[in-house]
Amino acid sequence: MPYVALYRKYRPKKFDDVIGQKVTVEILKNSIINNKISHAYLFNGPRGTGKTSVAKIFARSVNCLNNKNGNACGTCELCKKIQENDVDIIEIDAASNNGVEEIREIRSKVKLLPAVAKYKVYIIDEVHMLSTGAFNALLKTLEEPPSHVIFILATTEIHKIPLTILSRCQRFDFNKVNSEEMFAKLNQICKLEKKDISDNILKLIVKLSDGGCRDAINLLDQVLSLSSENITEDEIYDMQGITSEDKIIDFLNTILENDIVGGMKFLDSFVNSGKNLNGIVEQLLILLHNIAIANTVDNFFQGDSQKKYIAINVNLENIKILTNILIELENQMNKSTNQRNLFETYYIYMSSVINDCKTNVSNNFVNLVKNRKQTPKKELKECSSENGESVNTDFNLLKKIRINNILATANKEELIKINHDYERINDFIANKVYNNIAALLLSGKVVAASSEYLLFSFDDKSLVKVFLSNLEKIEKFLYEIYNNEYKVMSVDSNEWVNIKNEFIINKKNKVVYEILPELDVLQNQNKKNTKFESITNNIFGDEVETIN
């Protein structure tokens, strides 16, 4: 006997078997009992909640000659004919038939009487996929439907349905199936299949299917097909290409605790075990959402979950920051061919934003200075919330000095040379040491260059921050590419426009940019009014020429 998927095998055959859609089912049954049939229905709701199943049940029930409390009898002449050949129940998948021609064909055929049944029922699945032309053609049919025709339109995206169509349909909203009903259904299937699955595993399946009955039964189907007797939660997570919540919590903790090495190990394990990185982002978002709820609503989660979420050391402000970054990462990942690199870049960024005042910026800065084999005479200030001045002041000063020095030395020839070889960065996209840096630099561009300095610009402000946290590594990387010890700095594209405009004005006023020593200036932060004399070079090449 050929294998029949559980979802097909246990698809509800009558209204009373449908779970999770009590109100909808009651109204539809009553309309059949009272013979108040509409000619167009719209079933709206998430995937796998039973829209198509209910549409088919309705189509059979409305045609049954011995209807029993709204359900088809299954034994009358029409029920039998429909079971043999449901020629009068026509299913159309709009996702693959979105053309005007298909709908025109429906229009020409709706006038023909049903072959065997009372009603010809057209079930159009994913109706939002129809083209505008097809919707217009459908509208003409819905305006004057023959009395023997019923349309049932099903959609997961109601906002894409034209109002002209909506206004002609009786609408039903299908809900996600609640956990208790879903659990009972899965339990029932296990009993019928004579399989013993632990309650914990069934509960996990219910949780992962998020109210979609089809997804839940399909996942159960996969679980039952496993040969092992004792199925573990991890095996189920693997099937879904995701990871356990406990691991996601540990991963989140590496971000919160600035444990970048630990975080990279997690990413390694996710990738090596074939996890979908989009799924990991989604799991992090769900976790942050749950933490936020647990911290604001008492006893919202059952069992130990509430305590577990509250124990995670993250405040609402940081939840909001991380959520925004993760949503941006999710969007960027859909466009990226190298999701892992992108994830790593954003990971470092998240970690540095959350731990900004603790270590990253200051450590990088200290390393940067140490690397030059010079020691700043002035100790860098410790970062603390009470102290208005932070190490960022020093870092901002370095940024100002470097931008000044770049403007003082930049020239068009160097910029052309840099851009000429910039594509070589692509060769490092799979490099173990520099893959993140390569991905970062490819997201930006060099806007000013001299033999000693490079200024990078990024459209995305968050990447400027990542850049500033990795100055030292970027400089080492550029040495690999250009065999030259460049000092680098970065700005966002808006900043760059302002810097450039200011430079142009200064140039017109014959102001000269003097090269400032980085460490000397750090020691003499109060020394102001550095003298500017005259400008000799065209720094920005063509860009300035067009502005002039």
What does the binding site for Zn ion look like in residue numbers (CB under 5 A)?
64, 66, 72-73, 76, 79
| Residue 46 · residue 211 · CB < 8 Å | yes
484 secondary structure, DSSP code: S
Using CB atoms within 10 Å of the CB of residue 511, give its burial: 0 to 12 exposed, 13 to 18 middle, 19+ buried.
Answer: middle
Nearer to Zn ion, 76 or 224 (CB): 76
Nearer to Zn ion, 76 or 397 (CB): 76
d(CA 59, CA 31): 12
Give least dist CB 76 to Zn ion, A: 3
Nearer to Zn ion, 115 or 286 (CB): 115
146 secondary structure, DSSP code: -
Tokens 């200030």 belong to which residue? 381
Give least dist CB 64 to Zn ion, A: 3
Give least dist CB 51 to Zn ion, A: 23
Nearer to Zn ion, 72 or 322 (CB): 72
Nearer to Zn ion, 72 or 464 (CB): 72
Nearer to Zn ion, 54 or 454 (CB): 54
CA atoms within 13 A on the CB side of 93: 2
Give least dist CB 82 to Zn ion, A: 8
d(CA 140, CA 106): 11
Size of the chain, expressed as the number of residues it contains: 548
| Residue 414 · residue 450 · CB < 8 Å | yes
Nearer to Zn ion, 75 or 419 (CB): 75
Rounded to the nearest 10 degrees, how much is the dihedral formed by the CA atoms of 281, 286, 292, 296? 180
Give least dist CB 156 to Zn ion, A: 31
Nearer to Zn ion, 72 or 213 (CB): 72
d(CA 375, CA 95): 66
Q: What are phi and psi of 90, to 5 degrees?
A: -110, 120
| Pairing of β 149-155 and β 40-44 | parallel
Nearer to Zn ion, 77 or 180 (CB): 77
Measured over the CA atoms of residue 536, residue 541, residue 543 and residue 546, the dihedral's sign is positive
Q: What are phi and psi of 153, to 5 degrees?
A: -100, 135
Give least dist CB 114 to Zn ion, A: 15
Nearer to Zn ion, 35 or 337 (CB): 35
Rounded to the nearest 10 degrees, how much is the dihedral formed by the CA atoms of 148, 152, 158, 163? 0
Nearer to Zn ion, 73 or 166 (CB): 73
Beta strands across the sheet bearing 149-155: 89-93, 120-125, 149-155, 40-44, 170-173
Question: Residue 30: which residues within 8 A CB-CB, separation 6 or more?
Answer: 36, 70
Give least dist CB 160 to Zn ion, A: 36
Give least dist CB 124 to Zn ion, A: 25
Question: Residue 242: which residues within 8 A CB-CB, separation 6 or more?
Answer: 208, 275, 276, 279, 280, 282, 283
Give least dist CB 88 to Zn ion, A: 14
Instruction: Give the per-residue SS3 of 49-95.
Output: CCHHHHHHHHHHHHHCCCCECCECCCCCHHHHHHHHCCCCEEEEECC
Look up residue 389 and give its amino acid. E
Give least dist CB 14 to Zn ion, A: 11
Give least dist CB 66 to Zn ion, A: 5
Tell me how crowded residue 410 is: count the other CB atoms within 10 A of its CB.
Answer: 25
Give least dist CB 150 to Zn ion, A: 17
Nearer to Zn ion, 56 or 402 (CB): 56
